[in-house]
Amino acid sequence: MKKNQKALLSFTLAALVFSAGCAFFSDNPLLTFIDVLSILSLVLLVGGLVEFLIHGGYFDFMTYSFSSAKNLLTRHPEAQSQRYFDYAQKQKERRGTSEHFLLKLSGILLGLSILLTILYEVI
């Protein structure tokens, strides 16, 4: 497990323990825990979607346009302009692959939140 995944997992566990502690002292502990779990999973889902977009290369055109504009404005004759396709391939090789850990974690938490909501409505 990577270092940032361990940090994210420990943050999530700490948030769950904190929310369970807060829910314990409320009037309706299960409902409070479901609310906190839903909010945490939605926040992680948004972060996971941003991670998916970044690792998917959807913002390569913006970085390419900034680097091309820099070459045009500085007028360095030794700076060769690069085609977008070559730039995108180089960025893809440098970026590598992503496991989308954040999306998986948020999916698990959201599923748990939905199951607890169904359990709360049945009881």
Same domain for 2 and 52? Answer: yes
Q: Are residues 64 and 104 in the same domain?
A: no
Give the model confidence (pLDDT) of 13-67 as tens digits. Answer: 888 888 888 878 888 888 888 888 899 999 999 988 988 888 877 777 787 888 7
Task: Enter the tokens of residue 37.
Answer: 């779990």
| Structural domain containing residue 15 | 1-56+99-123
Give the pLDDT confidence of 81-118 residue by residue, as tens digits: 678 788 878 888 887 777 788 889 899 999 999 999 99
Q: Are residues 65 and 118 in the same domain?
A: no
67 and 43 in a common domain: no
52 and 103 fall within a common domain = yes
104 in the same domain as 46? yes
CA distance 18 to 3: 22
Tokens at 30, concatenated: 């299960």
